[in-house]
Each structure stands twice: as C-alpha cells, then as structure tokens.
Amino acid sequence: MKKILVVSRRYIRKDKLINWVSEIYLELISSADIIPVIVPISKGTKEILQHYLNSCDGLLMVEGGDLGPEYYGENYPLNELDEYDKLKDEIEIECYKYAYNNNMPILGLCRGLHIINAMHGGKIHKDIHIYNNNAVMHINYNNYDNHRHMVSIIENTPLYNWYNMSEINTNTYHHQGIMELGAELLPMAYAPDGLIEAVYNPNCKFLVGLQFHPERMLPDYDGNIKVFESFFNAVKQ
C-alpha cells in the first residue's frame, strides 16, 4: 500500500510536550486505502527522518503555527508569531524538499500553502489583517468553525475542475497569507481583498496549496472531496 506523510504538531499539556494530528486527515487517507504515516516532532526524528522519506509516496502538509520568517526573507521578532515551532519547520521543510525533488504528490493546506510558497521564493504576510485593514476577516475566534468568506475561482485550473463553480464560500482559520507568489506557482483563487487562496504548479505531478480547509466543510460542496480524491489518485499512480 502507498504511504502519505503527515508531520504532527506540538503543544504543552500538563508541562509535557504532546504530539498530535487532527483525526480527519488520518480518516481521509485511510479511507482511500493509503497508509497515513505520522512524522513526530522531536530531535530524534531528525536523525532518522530519511527512513520516513524513503518509504513515502506523497506528502500532506496541514494546519499549524506560523512559519519562521527566515524562510521567506523576513527577520521580525519570533515572539510576534503564533505557535512558532522551529523544529517543526525544519522537519516539515525537509519533507517538502524531498517530496518536491522526487516529484511526489504534495497537498498543502493553510500553513502547508505558506510552506509551498516560501520554498518557491515567495513572501508571507505577518498578519493579513494589517495588510487588508480588516476588509475581509480571515479568522474569527468567536465563530471559529462556521465563519466563511467568498472565494473567486479562476477558470481552467484544477480548482475550477474540482468545484465547477466560479465562486464558493470557504472556511478560514488563518492570520497569515501570501504576500508575493513564489516562482512556478500559479494562482487558482482569490479572496475579495485580493489574497491568493489557492495555488498549483502545472509542471509537477501534483502540487497544490489551499488557504482554506476542504476537509472541514465536506458537505458544503462536492469539490471538497474531489480535492483529496485527486491527490490520492496521484499518490496511487
């Protein structure tokens, strides 16, 4: 069976570091008859990371804290970041470089999109709401899961093929976003404030980044599951 890597997240519970991954990703991967492999964040993982990489067939990069600014040419204070984890950055970026260099299918969601953009030389807004003067709310902690905003989809892109719609209402859980698009990446969708909400690289087997979370609004549109089906099919090929 094929295997997809998912790097975990960390937080402190009762003075102890805990690794975790949202179950929805594991369920989606397993339901496609693919083995989800969780890559834990630990110093020891770095020593054996190549063993994970040698056995993988695809990479799913999911939500998480802010990417370190050194990866997109900025140097503002790290205490201004949300859930910053230097070790997670190092491990996940190594996974990305390996998957990309070997033309493996890659799907990046939210933070995953930011990694894709940064690895292609793009820039990330430290806080999108400073840039857009709160013209569009990209995260609403008081209505976290139900908050939506409209996204315009560009025709003749994979995203349009999956949704077959020019506009959809998407969930939104982020305070950062693409400032400058990375090389070889093409936009697939925009928020009303001009923020790029989806990208792809047509020269890769499957390289897609989405700012929104289709897995957390599966009943809303048929296209949400088609995103994952296309990713999984690319892994199996």
pLDDT score recorded for residue 134: 80
The CA-based dihedral angle spanning residues 189, 154, 150, 59, taken in that order and rounded to the nearest 10 degrees: -40
**Helix segments in 103-154, DSSP class H:** 111-119, 128-131
Residues 6+ apart with CB under 8 A from 97: 119
| Residues catalogued as catalytic | 110, 213, 215
| SS3 state of residue 13 | strand
pLDDT score recorded for residue 25: 98
pLDDT score recorded for residue 142: 86
pLDDT score recorded for residue 77: 87
Domain containing residue 128: CATH number: 3.40.50.880
Specify the pTM: 0.97
pLDDT score recorded for residue 144: 86
| SS3 state of residue 192 | coil
pLDDT score recorded for residue 141: 80
- The whole domain housing 122 covers 3-236
Task: Enter the DSSP assignment of 107.
Answer: E
Domain count, the chain: 1
Q: For the chain, which ranges sit under pLDDT 70?
A: none
Helices (H) and strands (E) in the chain, counts: 7, 13
CB environment 88-126: b (16+ within 10 A), e (fewer): bbebbbbbbebbbeeebbbbbbbbbbbbbbbbbebebbb
